[in-house]
Amino acid sequence: MKKISFLVFMCTMLFLSACSNSSSPSTNSSGAGAQAAVEPKDLVVALGAEPTILDPQDSSDALSNNATELVFDKLVTLDKDGKIVPQLAKEWTISPDGKKITFKLREGVKFQDDTPFNAEAVKITFDRVLNKDNKLNRYSFYSEFIDKVNVDSELQVSFDLKFPFGPALTCLAQAAGAIHSPKSLQEKGKGVGKAPVGAGPFILKEWTPGTKLVFEANPNYWGGKPKVKSITFKPVPENSARSIMLETGEADVISPVVPTDVDRLKGNDKLSVLISSSSRNLEFVMNTTKAPFNDVKVRQALNYAIDKETIVKKLLSGYGKVSEAAFTESVWGYSSVGAYPYDPEKAKKLLAEAGIAAGTKIQLWTPEGRYLMDRQIAEFVQGNLQAVGLAVDFKKYEWGTYKNITTNPKKDNYDIIMDSWGASTGDADWALRPLFTTTGSSNLSGFSNAEVDTLLDKGMKTTNPDDRKKTYSDALKVIKDQAPYIFVLDNKQLTGVRKNVEGVYTWTNERLILREAVKK
């Protein structure tokens, strides 16, 4: 019996050996083929435009922030459901009076240039943006509520706040809360926007303006090596071209999807279209620092002149809704104050009362490819304004150029410009304060109203939620009446993804999150 058992054992081993030697590479004994079967792949993302700057504290556009979310990590971030979760911080505590937040940091984390991550790196990053002389875009985002950043120990940092601020953690979870390598900041100065170094899962490898940005997986990422080899952003302003790239496989992800292509793409069994809510609205900003837009009757007239329902139903195929306030209902503190109805006759009457003669010339500027159907919407608005007697000079621009010429109403001297604002914090404070306070960092209309200034300051410093909501409701009513913008629509996010790609999702603030992407 022992001999028989031995012979059976030997035959079995010979059989397994033969199978091993004759097997396909994917199952050979070396394991190399098995490793090749799961080799990370390259992911290609076609976007309507390209990022403008990759310095998180000096950018204000979502496309740039989509990129910096790959390169950088923050103390805290958001999960798929928009809830605050740890990232570079392991945990945190808030003092009983709400004026100090203390973070305990992860050990052993390094930046992409091998510089150690510690409390000093956090302080250097925030001291930089809190220094008014640096004139960084996100200065007011943090300076309004952060008083001081303290290095408590190598792996503990604390923030002293000027007052208890409810959305403080949410603000730190936004792209602007990204932590730079101190070495990179020292060596590159303002040049960090073109060659960023963070502690995130991807490293910027190449940026060919107008063509592509390539991000390579960071092999030493503290959270584990990414599941794709690289991510390439390609700017593709033409809507139909992005859809074709998705269909042919030239792109794995596209954003945005043009509404007229949604049904066709959804009918392709190799593709998915992600439709999600958004904190972003689309509007036309009027330069209130110059005539005739310094007259509230003119601004109200232009709000009556626009057929917003048709824009939503026809141009966006229903993927959106007419704005009923200065920010969307997905933002905390929302209350409807009602839209200006389409009433061209009332628009003409108000223009006449303001002394605006028929044929008065104005300019209307728009980007092309940045926002969903941006050029088409702007052309429609041009037609509405001409129908009430204005002569409208229409101009369209590539996104990078457009951003550079629409930064300041007095300096750039524009008349009406298309804009879109997404409250990245999901809170009414950041939905309104940058745009409508006299000193707001993104006050593109030059709007100044003492009552609005007072209300928004009160809303920021009030801790009771019901009181805050009442304050923001009052502010929304004043803003509607003063009409510095033509509020058109609240967006939906439409993202196309090939079905062999998983782990792609969006936040309501228009962030396209690709860090967890897997391509099969």
Chain segment 465-506, per-residue pLDDT in tens: 999 999 999 999 999 999 999 999 999 999 999 999 999 999
Span 229-234, average pLDDT: 98
3-state secondary structure of 393: strand
CA distances from 444 to 418, 439, 516 (A): 10, 11, 35
* Contact in structure between 499 and 267 (CB atoms under 8 Å): no
Query: Which of these, 143, 148, 119, 121, lies nearest to 130 by C-alpha position?
Result: 143
Range(s) within the chain of domains with CATH label 3.90.76.10? 55-192
pLDDT digits (tens, 9 = 90+) for 20-47: 333 333 333 333 333 345 689 999 999 9
Mean pLDDT over the full length of the chain: 92
What pLDDT does residue 38 have?
65
How would CATH label the architecture of 202-276+493-519?
3-Layer(aba) Sandwich (3.40)
| Cα dihedral sign, 67-279-141-398 | positive
Q: Where in the chain is the domain with CATH 3.10.105.10?
A: 277-491
Is 3.90.76.10 the CATH number for 55-192?
A: yes
Strands 485-498 and 391-397: unpaired
Over residues 371-377, the mean pLDDT reads: 94
Domain with CATH 3.40.190.10 in the chain: 202-276+493-519
Rounded CA gap, 263 and 249, in Å? 18
Give tens-digit pLDDT for 502-513: 999 998 888 899
Measure Cα distances from 324 to 133, 308, 340, 453, 460 in Å. Answer: 38, 11, 8, 21, 22
Does the structural domain 277-491 have CATH classification 3.10.105.10? yes
- Work out the average pLDDT over 348-358: 98
pTM for the structure as a whole = 0.86
CA distances from 194 to 51, 206, 368 (A): 10, 10, 23
* Residue 16, pLDDT above cutoff 70: no
